């Protein structure tokens, strides 16, 4: 087999040389500015270097809407090609070594081989994801009217078995968490008995919970509508929290930013889950109207910052059981997915570093003295600071690119992949989530 194209470390270093003079100038200027606020810039570079966010395997393929999908050139056709693309993202930004798999889309034929393929690219496997929201060829029972909460026990058992299989696969790949999101719900009033459906959910999840190893976590993902448009079984964080408590200490609540009604105060939900010791982590994305799955930070960067403000506050406060898993969950319909994931990973690092810039003593004082204006101004001072030079230097020191998008485009990666990966005729439209 011909060697597959990879972005070369030497090429990244070469591109970095072109940007070095202006980055260093900006970095020095920012260092002086932060110094006046008694903030050491080097600490922030270290924080940026330590920040990690996982990439979803399904995110590197072009997504779509329920109307259409417009495939891009050189799309990955299997899990190995998806990992190649994840490897390219990791090389550029150096904050994304984790890859989250979706079963059955990414079911490995040979787990050891897949694991070493990932390892050779500096990657490892993050949370596993099950799929009981669509039917697979040859499966005995349909999920049309639900999976873990279906009135028919045989359907529920099939869905439970699938989740246990995901955990088993995850064990062979070195994963440490399993995420369950179900599309179960109703399209019409009266279609589903709300309480009975939730009881069945808990009964099914107890079976799955038993299969979760002791050093793993079970993530429950809520969503208020879609594909069921009248009601969903795990509709909000309160229901998720109740279920996580019922199930036990390994179960916790995953927050997908798009899974809330518009204008819901997500940062407050995050604070509640932190306080109750049940925050699993995140599926980051952004949205304007619904579960739009747009790129993180593209629509509401201030909301993203406010979420990280809560996270950093908990981190610095050393809150017990606080260990959130960060992952992107987006659908890239009109952009090169690699570019979107690169940009989104950077936006998360940005929000994280900015949240570290909040003067927490000043904020606490404003809160205690009932001074809302100064409280807001304290947050805004951090949010309006351009930390781009910190992020660029952090990437560069880790071997990544000062200008990841420019470097990616200059590398010709997509053109090479278009040649290596001729489109499959009639290929399934995976990537629509």
- Binding stretches for Mn ion (CB under 5 A): 256, 283, 329
Nearer to Mn ion, 340 or 411 (CB): 340
- In this chain, which residue has its C-beta nearest to Mn ion? 283
Nearer to Mn ion, 74 or 185 (CB): 185
Q: Three-class SS of residue 328?
A: strand
Are the C-beta atoms of 12 and 92 separated by less than 8 Å?
yes
Are the C-beta atoms of 182 and 228 separated by less than 8 Å?
no
Report residue 177: phi and psi, to 5°: -155, 155
Nearer to Mn ion, 283 or 417 (CB): 283
CA–CA separation, 237 and 224 (whole Å)? 9
At closest approach, how far in Å is the CB of 129 from Mn ion?
Answer: 8
Number of other CB atoms surrounding residue 316 within 10 Å: 12
- Residue 316, Ramachandran bin (φ over 0: left; ψ between -120 and 50: alpha; else beta): alpha
- Residue 192, Ramachandran bin (φ over 0: left; ψ between -120 and 50: alpha; else beta): beta
Nearer to Mn ion, 126 or 329 (CB): 329
Q: At how many degrees (to 10) do helices 9-36 and 388-397 cross?
A: 140
At closest approach, how far in Å is the CB of 271 from Mn ion?
Answer: 20
148-157, long-range: CB within 8 Å, 24+ apart, which pairs?
A: 148/180, 148/182, 148/184, 148/200, 148/201, 148/204, 148/205, 149/182, 149/184, 149/192, 149/197, 149/198, 149/200, 149/201, 149/204, 149/233, 150/184, 150/200, 151/200, 156/200, 156/203, 156/204
Nearer to Mn ion, 58 or 201 (CB): 58
| 186, β-bridge pairs | 231
Nearer to Mn ion, 310 or 329 (CB): 329
Structure letter (DSSP) for residue 294? B
DSSP H or E segment with residue 326: strand 325-328
Tell the burial category of 425 from Cβ atoms under 10 Å away from its Cβ (0-12, 13-18, 19+): exposed
At closest approach, how far in Å is the CB of 283 from Mn ion?
Answer: 3
At closest approach, how far in Å is the CB of 328 from Mn ion?
Answer: 9
At closest approach, how far in Å is the CB of 118 from Mn ion?
Answer: 22
Q: Which of 111, 122, 132 is nearest to 179 (CA)?
A: 132
At closest approach, how far in Å is the CB of 255 from Mn ion?
Answer: 9
Nearer to Mn ion, 231 or 331 (CB): 331
Nearer to Mn ion, 382 or 433 (CB): 433
CA–CA separation, 337 and 85 (whole Å)? 9
Nearer to Mn ion, 106 or 256 (CB): 256
Per the listing, tokens 């270097």 go with 49
At closest approach, how far in Å is the CB of 256 from Mn ion?
Answer: 4
Are the C-beta atoms of 65 and 318 separated by less than 8 Å?
no
At closest approach, how far in Å is the CB of 258 from Mn ion?
Answer: 7
Nearer to Mn ion, 100 or 204 (CB): 100
At closest approach, how far in Å is the CB of 221 from Mn ion?
Answer: 6
At closest approach, how far in Å is the CB of 240 from Mn ion?
Answer: 13
At closest approach, how far in Å is the CB of 166 from Mn ion?
Answer: 15
Per the listing, tokens 């589903």 go with 192
Nearer to Mn ion, 94 or 102 (CB): 102
Tell the burial category of 17 from Cβ atoms under 10 Å away from its Cβ (0-12, 13-18, 19+): exposed
């Amino acid at each position: 087999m011909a060697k597959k194209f990879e972005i070369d470390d030497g090429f990244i270093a070469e591109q970095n040389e072109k940007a070095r003079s202006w980055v260093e100038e900006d970095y020095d200027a920012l260092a002086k500015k932060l110094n006046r606020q008694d903030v050491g810039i080097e600490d922030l570079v270290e924080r940026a270097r330590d920040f990690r966010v996982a990439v979803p395997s399904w995110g590197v393929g072009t997504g779509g809407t329920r109307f259409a999908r417009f495939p891009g050139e050189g799309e990955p056709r299997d899990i190995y090609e998806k990992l190649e693309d994840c490897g390219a993202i990791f090389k550029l930004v150096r904050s994304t070594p984790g890859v989250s798999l979706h079963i059955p889309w990414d079911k490995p034929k040979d787990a050891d081989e897949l694991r070493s393929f990932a390892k050779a690219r500096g990657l490892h496997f993050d949370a596993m994801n099950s799929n009981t929201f669509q039917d697979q060829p040859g499966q005995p029972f349909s999920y049309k009217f639900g999976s873990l909460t279906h009135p028919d026990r045989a359907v529920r058992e099939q869905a439970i078995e699938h989740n246990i299989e995901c955990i088993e696969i995850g064990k062979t790949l070195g994963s440490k968490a399993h995420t369950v999101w179900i599309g179960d719900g109703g399209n019409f009033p009266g279609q589903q008995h709300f309480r009975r459906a939730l009881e069945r959910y808990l009964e099914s999840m107890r079976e799955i919970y038993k299969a979760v190893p002791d050093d793993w976590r079970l993530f429950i993902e809520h969503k208020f509508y879609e594909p069921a448009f009248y009601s969903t079984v795990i509709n909000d964080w309160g229901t998720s929290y109740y279920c996580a408590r019922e199930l036990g200490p390994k179960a916790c609540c995953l927050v997908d930013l798009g899974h809330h009604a518009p204008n819901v105060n997500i940062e407050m939900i995050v604070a509640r889950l932190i306080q109750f010791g049940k925050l699993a982590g995140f599926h980051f994305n952004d949205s304007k109207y619904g579960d739009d799955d747009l790129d993180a930070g593209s629509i509401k960067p201030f909301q993203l910052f406010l979420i990280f403000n809560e996270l950093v506050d908990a981190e610095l406060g050393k809150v017990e059981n606080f260990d959130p898993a960060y992952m992107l969950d987006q659908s890239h319909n009109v952009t090169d997915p690699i570019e979107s994931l690169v940009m989104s990973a950077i936006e998360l690092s940005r929000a994280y570093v900015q949240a570290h810039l909040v003067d927490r003593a000043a904020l606490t004082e404003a809160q205690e003295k009932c001074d809302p204006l100064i409280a807001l101004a304290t947050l805004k001072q951090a949010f309006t600071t351009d930390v781009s030079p910190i992020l660029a230097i952090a990437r560069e020191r880790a071997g990544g690119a000062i200008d990841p998008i420019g470097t990616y485009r200059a590398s010709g990666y997509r053109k090479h992949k278009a040649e290596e990966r001729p489109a499959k005729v009639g290929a399934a439209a995976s990537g629509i989530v």
